[in-house]
Chain A
Amino acid sequence: MTELFLDLTSAGLLAAGSIFVLIGAFGLIRLPDFYTRLHAAGITDTLGAELILLGLMFQAGLSLVTVKLILISLFIFFTSPTATHAVANAARVMGLKPMLIPDKDLENTEDR
């Protein structure tokens, strides 16, 4: 009974993670400019990967593998938003303007 419950939870989490990764991949192709695409890629990195890792933890049970998976998910949780931030920041500093924001809204953000 517990086995079945664990397998179902794991399958649900893996499916949810895969769906987020799929949505991220669609977004990466379909969205119009750099920042919106970065937003889609960020979802793939964090939510998709974290859910898949969580699903794998339910498969591994209480073992050393789960400890390693927790560590991996912790590091992904910190590093991929930072990487996304660094890329977006670099683009903004180099003067790339978000496509969907009108120019008058950008005026106050020039000095950072």
Chain B
Amino acid sequence: MRHHLILRVVSKMLIPFIMLFGLYVQFHGDFGPGGGFQAGVIFAAAFILYALVFGDDQARKVVPDKALILLVPLGLLIYALTGFAGILLGGKFLDYDVLSSDPTHGQHLGILVIELGVGITVAAVMISIFRAYAGRTKAIDKEDW
């Protein structure tokens, strides 16, 4: 593993910034380019980079499979519940205007919550897809590198 030293140091340094940028894209999505899907992919890329450099086993300790199984439906649930909240508050499905007393503020809030749901699901699904490939075969032995 010695010749991975540079990769490990640089990844360790960069992973927090990748996550921070993911959050920036997530919550800046209603003002500029970005949104839930892109943010989810960027956020998942941080975890995938961690898994690539430090190994799949180590990455499974950071985000266990059980957490992923919970996070995938959680995002979808946030999306759906926001939609039904519109109906319950007297509007249509996914009607943001009724979420707050002020329609503009309601739209702002609705998009923010929906994008959060999208982001959570996309990030969890991306990590799951990576896991499905990475965990397919036995890890390569040290001598075989």
Interface residues of A (CB under 8 A from B): 75, 78-79, 82, 85-86, 89, 93, 112
CA distance A85 to B14 in the complex (A): 16
* Contacting residues, chain B, for A78 (C-beta < 8 A): 10, 13-14
The answer to whether B14 touches A79, judged by C-beta atoms less than 8 angstroms apart, is yes
B10-36: which have CB < 8 Å to A?
10, 13-14, 17
CB pair B7–A112 under 8 Å, yes or no, is: no
Q: How far is the CB of A84 from chain B (nearest CB, A)?
A: 10
Contact B6 A85, beta carbon cutoff 8 Å: yes
Nearest Cβ in chain B — how far from A51, in angstroms? 22
Q: List 12 A-B contacts (CB under 8 A).
A: A78-B10, A78-B13, A78-B14, A79-B10, A79-B14, A82-B7, A82-B10, A85-B6, A85-B7, A86-B6, A93-B3, A112-B3
Question: Please, which residues of chain A bring their CB within 8 A of the CB of B13?
Answer: 78
Neighbour of B6 across the interface among A75, A82, A93, A112, CB < 8 A: A82
Name B2's closest neighbour in chain A (CB-CB): A112
> For the side of the interface on B, what is the size category?
under 10
Main secondary structure of the interface of B (DSSP, over half): helix
Q: How many Å from the CB of A42 to the closest CB on chain B?
A: 14
Interface of A: prevailing SS: helix
Which residues from A are CB-within-8-Å of B2?
Answer: 112
- Partner among A75, A82, A89 whose Cβ is within 8 Å of the Cβ of B3: A89
Given known contacts A86-B7, A112-B3, what 10 new A-B pairs fall within 8 Å (CB)?
A75-B17, A78-B10, A78-B13, A78-B14, A79-B10, A82-B6, A82-B7, A82-B10, A85-B6, A85-B7
Complex CA gap A89/B2 in Å reads: 12
Report the nearest A residue to B13, measured CB to CB.
A78
Q: With A82-B7, A112-B3 in contact, do A75 and B14 touch (Cβ < 8 Å)?
A: yes
A79 CB contacts on chain B under 8 angstroms: 10, 14
